[in-house]
Each structure stands twice: as structure tokens, then as C-alpha cells.
Amino acid sequence: MKIAVASGKGGTGKTTVTASLMSIWPSPAAAVDLDVEEPNLHLFLNPEITETIPATLEIPVVDEDKCTYCRKCSTLCQFKAISVFGEVVLTFPEMCHGCGGCMMICPEGAVSAGKRQLGEISVGTALGLPFLMGRLRVGEAMSPPLMRSVLAALETRVDTTAQDIIIDAPPGVSCPAVTAVMDCDVVILVTEPTPFGVYDLKLAHEAFSKLGKPMGVVVNRAGIGDDAVYAFCRGSNLPILAEIPYDRRIATAYSQGKIVADVSDTIRETFASLAEKARRMGHSEEERCHA
Amino acid sequence: MPEILVISGKGGTGKTSLTAAFCHLADQPVICDLDVDAPDLHLLLQPKTITSQDFISGNEAVVQAENCSHCGTCIDVCNWGAISDTGPFVVVNPYKCEGCKVCVQFCPEEAIDFPAKNCGQWYLSETRFGPLVHAQLIPAEENSGKLVALLKKEAKTLAKEKNAPLILSDGPPGIGCPVISALSGADLAVLVTEPTPSGIHDLKRVLELCEHFSTPTVVIINKADLNPDQADAIEDFCGEKGRRVIARLPHDAAMTEAMVHGKTITEFRSCELSTQLKSAWEEIKLLAGLEVKSPAGPATERSGANNLSMLENKINYI
């Protein structure tokens, strides 16, 4: 099963939860960091990287000797990545989304595939388990295509039917977060009991409900703020799977790059129970899908 | 008027709480919340909305069942794996559809519609500190970079109308599309970090992005006392990069308390944190050229202005 650890608001503890779950997961699992803009999971899992793969996007390259300036490509392109002015064709590679439409529609076969560097995919092992991450090239605007490349690499390197996949998702509720959660069986939403936390949890709940994903909540830094997050979860039938107390020892361990589940036996048990609940949700979802 | 943008790379470092405090300290700013995905600034500024408008952007493919011959062409040409034949119907998954129109173009039956999409709403509001330009992307929708560009344009127009001395913007996390859009045209980026491995890692990347676009930057270390050694390491790193750390803020639970009360920390309590924020704001004003007390201009020279305006034009289409 695939489990995404997501949140609307950034900095609620997605990476903390993912790293801790990896450290106590009771069956074989692989970790995937899909927060490609700011990947942090490796800072806590310290993977040994054995392979680095450049990720690219196919962009148009025009052979002007063949081009008849018919404008079919520029009329089709929705992203203003290719333009024809009189007898000049201009391409804007950084605008291209990689749909391939210009290459398919050109009647002269004048448009071929070039490459734009999106970033890189790192593959290795952490805690003796498979680890994958994407890292967006600084200056590149589009993260979803790189995320899709990481997921494609996962399929070729890990038997995803034989082991569980735990995904550290990016924050927010738009395309990058949706891309990360899209093919998951269960979404763990990490939040904090503050006005910002609950507002962004509502947004995440709305976004991922549209995708039909079963969700549960982890309340991090429990004890700060107010009770609104609990009221919202009750009212929305969102199960609270775990509460991680606000504790200076946890904050300090995190600031030292340590796995939070290692702080104490009680916290380790909290994560073990979270893993159990998430697995149960995933299994019933898998049964529902196969039924 | 200068445009000051608060960003962080990593989420949850305190961008919004700090931006709100600066809104309180600033004189007649036009305020802008550019985190259109998960906007939180309004929770502290409690705006009264004056106008609200739909944000229509992009299109999506919709198959007309009655004209579809199930030939499979659309499924073959779709690069996003967004289309599938369920038997009775060929359907497009709207969350996978990129709006590229390729299926519409190649459908032999002309059976695919391509309606425009409503991706959210944007608002002009009033707050106790000044006008606020903000938005809410519909959860699971896209085109956040374009919405950011729209808000920036509206904020600029408003600031000109009101003859406002500055635009103060709360930015999105990350380094991708909405952040690049937010950075375009900003005169000073205030980078908020925290003394953790993630904080410093993400600061490095967002700083590299600012360098890429030649945006002057200053750094604030939030919750610096959580790990003073890491905070020192951040200062050393910023020193090497020629970037000023203008504040090392203490961790204070009053920040969360203020948030619960819908207040900015500087309104809520006179404490060490508030005092330090006030002096940080004085420094930001100087660096942004809002007050000329010394010949010191922005932290670095703006060599990439052309680069930026080019980017601004382009980002409108992403």
C-alpha cells in the first residue's frame, strides 16, 4: 500500500512523521521524498545514495529547414512555449509543459524532442530500506513532472506490490500536493492545533476528499494553541490517528537531525500505534478497491 | 514604491506571523498574501472584503459521451495518463488533465470539449493596517503561479492609486512556480529560517533562487535559541554568502497565543521577541530604501533587473 504524509500548512511535521514511521514500520517499506522543491527526509534518514538519475522534460526543437511556418504548433500550444513570427520560429523551453502536441501536429516533421533539465532523482537505501528522492533544479518552476519521474523510477526499482511505500509529500493543496497524493491508498494529514494549522487542514481535507482518499490526522505539538482542530476533526469524521505532544526534547532532537521516534519509548509507541492504524486504513481501502 | 517579500523555502518557519507583525509596524503598506494555496495572513489581519472576483485560468478536457466512438486516440496522445475508457464512458481525470488541448485537437469525432476553469477567487479587502490583496485557490486546483502574478499586479495598481510607500507580501513555501512568480519584481526578500537541518538546507536553496534572480536578501533566524549552534552555522553561512542576518529571534509561546487571539505578536505583547522584530523592521526599511539614514543601499546590486522583467512576462503564462 502507498501512504502519503501530507499537510496543507508547511512545517507541521510531515518529515518528522515520515522518518519516524520508516524507523518503526513493521513490514518492508520504501521511503519516497516527493517534496522536490525542498526535500528534507534525507537529512533525518541519512541514506546511502547509490544512483543519481537526471530528470528531464521533452521540449520542442525546431528544424527550420523543414518548417513552413504554418503555425499549427503555436496555435495548439496552450503554454506559449512555441511562437511563429513571420518566418521565424521561437521556442521558450522553460514555458513548456511537455505535452508533445507540437511534435505530433507538425505536418513537416520539423519539431523534434529536446530536453530541459528538471532536477535529479536519487536512489539508495536508508535504515536498510529503499529510499528515493527528487530534487528540483533551482530556477525550475514546475515540480509535478519531476515528481512523476520519481514515481516512475520507484516502479522500476521497487516491487510496490510487495512492500509498503511511505511518501513525504510537499505542503499546500495545489498541483504538487495533488500529484503526490493522487495514487496513494491512505493520506496521513499532519497538523498543529493552531488557527493556521486548522485552517490549512480544512483546505487539505477538501482537496484530498475530492480525490476520494481515506484520511486520518496526526496532531503535532499537541498542547499549544487551542481546541479548534479537534472540533473540526470530530465534525468532519476525520479520525485522529496520533497526537505528538509539544515537548522541548522533541524540538531539540529534530533540530539535531534525529529521528523523533527515538526520543523516548512513549513516543516510539505513539508512532507504532499510528503505523498500525494507517495500515488498517490502507488494507480496508485495498479491499474496497478490489471488491 | 519598494516591494518587500517574506519567504522561507521551508514551510512553518514563521513567515506569516512575521509578515503580520511587519504589517503592524509599517506605515500605510499595501499588503499582499501570495501564499494562494494555503493563505493564513487573513487569520491575523481579519480583513473586511470589499470586492471578490473569480480567478478563471486554463482549460480542461471533457469528453462528450454521445459523440465518442471509443477509438482510443485521446488516450494514446495524452501525455498525462489522464484519460481512460471505463467501458460505458471515456473519462478525463480532471486532477491529471494538464489542459494541453492535445486530445481535443486529435479527436477524430471532435467529441472533446475544452471549457475554461474557475481555479479560485481573489479579493480586495480592508484591514486595520491597510488594504489587503489576497486570494484562495480552490483546493486541488492549479495555476497558482498565475494567480500570484495577478495579485502582484493588483497590489501594484492599488499602491500607485493610494500612493502607498511600500508593498509588503507574505510568500509561499518552496522554490517552484508560485515562489518564482512572487520573487519577480521584488526589491527585497526577507528569508525566514530556523536553526534545524531542514531550515538551513531549505534556506540555501531559496537563497540560491534569489541569487539566480539577483534579488537582494536579508535573513531572519526564528526560534534561534532552539539550537544556538545551528543558528551560528546559519550566520556563518550567510556571512560567506555576503547576506546579513538581521535578527535572531527567541522562541516564545506568545507567538502562538497571539495567533489564537487573531493578533500580531507586536500588538499582543511587549516582549523580547517584539522588541527584536521592531529593530529588524527598522533595518528592513533602511535596506528597502524606505528611510535614508545612511548611504547603504540594498544589500546587493540589482544586476539582474532585465532578467527579472523577462521572467515576469513569462511567468504569466505558466
B315 touches chain A (CB under 8 A): yes
pLDDT on residue B297: 43
DSSP A176-214: HHHHHHTT-SEEEEEE-SSHHHHHHHHHHHHHHHHTT--
pLDDT on residue A62: 97
Mean pLDDT score, A127-147: 97
Mean pLDDT score, A149-157: 97
Using CA coordinates, name the residue in chain B closest to A72.
B105
What letter represents residue B225's amino acid?
D
pLDDT on residue B293: 52
B98 touches chain A (CB under 8 A): yes
Q: Which residues of B touch A11 (CB under 8 A)?
A: 10-13, 173
pLDDT on residue A287: 81
State the complex-level ipTM: 0.95
pLDDT on residue B80: 96
Q: Which residues of B touch A175 (CB under 8 A)?
A: 142, 144
- Please answer yes or no on whether B174 and A195 come within 8 Å at the CB atom: no
Mean predicted lDDT score pLDDT of chain A:
96
Per-residue pLDDT of chain B (318 residues; tens, 9 = 90+): 899 999 999 999 999 999 999 999 999 999 999 999 999 999 999 999 999 999 999 999 999 999 999 999 999 999 999 999 999 999 999 999 999 999 999 999 999 999 999 999 999 999 999 999 999 999 998 888 999 999 999 999 999 999 999 999 999 999 999 999 999 999 999 999 999 999 999 999 999 999 999 999 999 999 999 999 999 999 999 999 999 999 999 999 999 999 999 999 999 999 999 999 999 999 999 999 887 654 444 444 444 444 444 444 444 433
pLDDT on residue B146: 95
Mean pLDDT score, A148-159: 96
Within 13 A of A207's CA, how many CA atoms are on the CB side? 36
B308 touches chain A (CB under 8 A): no
pLDDT in tens, A42-82: 999 999 999 999 999 999 999 999 999 999 999 999 999 99
**Residue A242 scores a pLDDT above 70:** yes
Alpha helices in chain A (DSSP H): 14-24, 41-45, 72-76, 101-105, 144-157, 175-181, 195-210, 228-235, 248-255, 265-290
B212 touches chain A (CB under 8 A): yes
Using CA coordinates, name the residue in chain A closest to B74.
A101
- Asked whether B181 and B149 are in contact (CB, 8 A), the reply is yes
State the DSSP H helix or E strand holding residue B52, giving kind and residue range, or none if neither. Answer: strand B48-59
Closest C-alpha to B21, from B292, B247, B185 = B247
Mean pLDDT score, A284-289: 80
**Distance separating alpha carbons of residues A190 and A197, to the nearest angstrom:** 9
- Asked whether B191 and B14 are in contact (CB, 8 A), the reply is no
Q: 3-class DSSP state for residue B83?
A: strand
A5-22 in b/e form (b: 16+ CB < 10 A) is: bbbbbbbbbbbbbbbbbb
pLDDT on residue A109: 97
Closest C-alpha to B9, from B188, B277, B200, B187 = B200
Residues in CB range of A100: below 8 A, 6 or more apart: A58, A113, B77, B79, B102
- Please answer yes or no on whether A78 and B100 come within 8 Å at the CB atom: yes
Q: CA separation (Å) from A151 to A98, A148, A188? A: 17, 5, 19
Mean pLDDT score, A134-148: 97
Closest C-alpha to B256, from A182, A64, A228, A262 = A228
Pairing of strands A88-91, A164-168: unpaired
State the DSSP H helix or E strand holding residue A49, giving kind and residue range, or none if neither. Answer: strand A48-62
**Distance separating alpha carbons of residues B116 and B97, to the nearest angstrom:** 13
